[in-house]
Amino acid sequence: MPWNVIIEHDPETGAYTATVAGLPDIIVDARSEGEALSMAEEAIRFYLEEARATGISVPAHSPDTRIVPVDV
């Protein structure tokens, strides 16, 4: 099942943050992009396992995700 992972880099701190479209409870912080992606994959697996075990309904995959710039 494909999940869209959004990775953001903070050049000031050097940290990477990953979130998962469609699973708002997943937010991971890491020292590298690869680590952020790996942690997000692990978090998705855990989230889905827990959801199945507790009967929580989750989508089969991420919704269509786009990044749209907004000039404010």
CB-CB contact of 1 with 51 (8 Å): no
Measured between alpha carbons, how far is 41 from 69 in angstroms, rounded to an integer?
Answer: 26
- Residue 5 CA from chain centroid, whole number: 4
Instruction: For residue 60, give the DSSP letter.
Output: S
How many Å apart are CA 68 and CA 72, to the nearest integer? 12
Model pLDDT, residue 44: 95
Check residue 1 and give its pLDDT. Answer: 72
- Residue 64 in any domain: the answer is no
Q: Is residue 67 part of a domain?
A: no
Whether 46 is in a domain gets the answer yes
Residue 27 lies in a domain: yes
- Residue 39's domain comprises 5-54
- Predicted confidence at residue 49, as pLDDT, reads 93
Residue 33 lies in a domain: yes
3-state secondary structure of 32: coil
Looking at the structure of the chain, the number of domains it has is 1
Q: Is 14 inside a domain boundary?
A: yes
Q: Say what the pLDDT of residue 66 is.
A: 86
Residue linked to tokens 């396992």: 49
Counting as low any pLDDT under 70, the low residues of the chain are none
